[in-house]
């Protein structure tokens, strides 16, 4: 990532605290959803893995994804529709530089997503400047994923999302292609 790009970003998200040896720990809550697309799952997986000093912007997330701007915006809209993202406009009088900004709150679990079992969960909240990451405390129902996979910007979000779904399945799961 070049320094010029970093200077153009606005502080916005994300903390990563449950890491061990180059792995991200993702909640199966969003990974196993049948309401959101693999593209949205892949994008949320990338966001949940961002380092604590990442400055979240739409342009920044587009830069680290193989998908184009339209695909990323579509995935963000889908996450917002299903309650995995809450985007709030911050008016000029509410921001330090007197400009309009957006505050992004990302969630690993959404009560709007009825395809998921209702879990007893604890939310851990991490805030960096004008964004918040609301993560499910990982004491069960999670999948460990290599950071290298999540940070590979050559993999499109829809393929990453599908891979996350497959990797989250239990060891006894039999995966087969449907025969027509």
In a domain, 27, yes or no: yes
State residue 156's pLDDT score.
Answer: 93
Please, which pLDDT band fits residue 41 given cuts at 50, 70 and 90? Answer: very high
State residue 77's pLDDT score.
Answer: 96
- CA 27/CA 20 separation, integer angstroms: 15
Percent of the chain with pLDDT over 90: 24
* Eight-state DSSP code of residue 19: B
Residues 102-111 have a mean pLDDT of: 86
| The pair of three-digit structure tokens given for residue 21, joined into one six-digit string | 């040896």
Cβ atoms within 10 Å of 21's Cβ, excluding its own: 7
In a domain, 176, yes or no: no
Q: Which residue has the higher pLDDT, 8 or 67?
A: 67
Q: pLDDT at residue 49 above 70?
A: yes
Query: What sections of the chain are H helices per DSSP?
Result: 3-8, 28-31, 38-49, 58-63, 69-81, 147-150, 157-168
User: Whose structure tokens read 């449950």?
Assistant: 18
- CA 4/CA 77 separation, integer angstroms: 28
Predicted TM-score of the model (pTM): 0.74
In a domain, 178, yes or no: no
Q: Is-contact 107 23, C-beta < 8 A?
A: no
Percent of the chain with pLDDT over 70: 77
Which residues, including other chains, have CB under 8 Å from residue 52's CB and lie 6 or more apart?
14, 15, 16, 17, 126, 128
Q: pLDDT at residue 33 above 50?
A: yes
State residue 160's pLDDT score.
Answer: 92
Question: Taking the chain, what is the end-to-end CA distance rounded to the nearest angstrom?
Answer: 45
In a domain, 175, yes or no: no
Mean pLDDT over each residue of the chain, to the nearest integer: 78
In a domain, 97, yes or no: yes
In a domain, 81, yes or no: yes
For 122, counting Cβ atoms within 10 Å of its Cβ (0-12 exposed, 13-18 middle, 19+ buried), the class is exposed
In a domain, 42, yes or no: yes
Domain count across the chain: 1
Residue 155's domain spans which residues? 3-168
- CA 123/CA 36 separation, integer angstroms: 20
State residue 75's pLDDT score.
Answer: 96
Q: pLDDT at residue 6 above 50?
A: no
Q: pLDDT at residue 134 above 80?
A: no
In a domain, 143, yes or no: yes
State residue 15's pLDDT score.
Answer: 34
């Amino acid at each position: 990532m070049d320094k010029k790009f970093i200077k153009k970003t606005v502080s916005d998200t994300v903390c990563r605290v449950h890491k061990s040896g180059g792995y991200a720990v993702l909640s199966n809550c969003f990974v196993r959803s049948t309401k959101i697309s693999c593209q949205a799952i892949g994008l949320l997986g990338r966001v949940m893995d961002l380092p604590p000093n990442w400055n979240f912007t739409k342009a920044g997330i587009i830069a680290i994804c193989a998908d184009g701007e339209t695909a990323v915006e579509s995935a963000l809209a889908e996450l917002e529709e299903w309650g995995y993202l809450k985007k709030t406009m911050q008016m000029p009088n509410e921001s330090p530089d007197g400009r309009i900004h957006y505050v992004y709150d990302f969630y690993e679990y959404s009560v709007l997503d009825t395809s998921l079992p209702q879990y007893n969960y604890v939310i851990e909240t991490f805030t960096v400047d004008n964004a918040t990451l609301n993560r499910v405390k990982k004491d069960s129902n999670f999948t460990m994923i290599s950071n290298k996979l999540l940070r590979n910007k050559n993999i499109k979000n829809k393929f990453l999302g599908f891979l996350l779904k497959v990797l989250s399945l239990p060891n006894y799961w039999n995966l087969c292609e449907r025969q027509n």
